[in-house]
Amino acid sequence: MNTGGLLAALVPLVDDLSRDLPEGERYRRLLQAMRAVLPCDAAALLQREGEWLLPLAVDGLSTDTLGRRFRIDDHPRFKALLEADGPLRFPPDCDLPDPYDGLVDGPPDVLEVHDCMGCVLMVGEQPWGLVTLDALDPERFATVDLPSVQAFASLAAATVTVADRIHSLASRVEDERQRAEVYRLAAGQQPPRDLIGNSPANQRLLQDIAVVADSDLTVLITGETGVGKELVAQAIHAASRRGGQPLISINCAALPETLVESELFGHVRGAFSGAVGDRRGKFELADGGTLFLDEVGELSLPIQAKLLRVLQNGQLQRLGSDREHRVNVRVIAATHRDLADDVQEGRFRADVFHRLSVFPVHVAPLRDRQRDVLMLAGFFLEENRVRLGLSGLRLTADAQAALLSYAWPGNVRELEHLLSRSVLKALARQGRRPRILSLSEVDIDLPRTGPVMAQEEETADTAAPAPVRAPAIDPSIGLRAAVDDYERRLILDALARHGHNWASAARGLGLDRANLNRLAKRLGIK
Ligand SMILES: Nc1ncnc2c1ncn2[C@@H]1O[C@H](COP(=O)(O)OP(=O)(O)OP(=O)(O)O)[C@@H](O)[C@H]1O
Ligand SMILES: [Mg+2]
Quickly state the pLDDT bin for 464 (edges 50, 70, 90).
Answer: very low
For 341-391, strand residue ranges (E) read: 359-362
* Whether residue 205 has its Cβ less than 6 Å from ligand 1: no
Secondary structure (DSSP) of 472-518 = ---GGG-HHHHHHHHHHHHHHHHHHHTTT-HHHHHHHHT--HHHHHH
The predicted pLDDT at position 478 comes to 65
Quickly state the pLDDT bin for 453 (edges 50, 70, 90).
Answer: very low
The predicted pLDDT at position 136 comes to 85
Distance from the alpha carbon of residue 413 to the mean position of ligand 1, in angstroms:
6
Residue 459 has pLDDT above 70, yes or no: no
The 10s digit of each residue's pLDDT in 176-185 is: 787 787 777 7
Which atom of ligand 1 lies at the shortest distance from residue 192's CA? Answer: 31
The 10s digit of each residue's pLDDT in 203-256 is: 999 999 999 999 999 999 999 999 999 999 999 999 999 998 889 999 998 888
* Whether residue 201 has its Cβ less than 6 Å from ligand 1: no
Q: Which one of the ligands is nearest to 366 CA?
A: 1
The 10s digit of each residue's pLDDT in 408-433 is: 999 999 999 999 999 999 998 887 88
Residue 196 is classified by DSSP as -
Which atom of ligand 1 lies at the shortest distance from residue 294's CA? Answer: 27
Q: Kindly report the backbone phi and psi dihedral angles of residue 437, in degrees, each rounded to the nearest multiple of 5, phi listed first.
A: -105, 125
**Per-residue b/e over 477-493, b at no fewer than 16 CB within 10 Å?**
eeeeeeebbbbbbbbbb
* Whether residue 231 has its Cβ less than 6 Å from ligand 1: yes
Q: Whose CA is nearest to atom 16 of ligand 1?
A: 228
Secondary structure (DSSP) of 241-290 = TTTTS-EEEEETTTS-HHHHHHHHHEE-TTSSTT--S-EE-HHHHTTTSE
- Computed over every residue of the chain, the mean pLDDT equals 85
**What residues does 219 pair with on adjacent strands?**
332, 359
Q: Which one of the ligands is nearest to 228 CA?
A: 1
* Whether residue 197 has its Cβ less than 6 Å from ligand 1: yes
Which atom of ligand 1 lies at the shortest distance from residue 226's CA? Answer: 23
The predicted pLDDT at position 27 comes to 87
The predicted pLDDT at position 471 comes to 47
Query: Cα angle vertex 107, ends 115, 116, to 5°?
Result: 10
Residue 451 has pLDDT above 60, yes or no: no
Which atom of ligand 1 lies at the shortest distance from residue 415's CA? Answer: 12
The 10s digit of each residue's pLDDT in 476-518 is: 666 777 777 788 888 888 887 887 788 888 888 888 888 888 8
Choose among 318, 257, 242, 322: nearest CA to 287: 242
> Are residues 495 and 505 in contact, defined by beta-carbon separation less than 8 angstroms?
yes
* Whether residue 412 has its Cβ less than 6 Å from ligand 1: yes
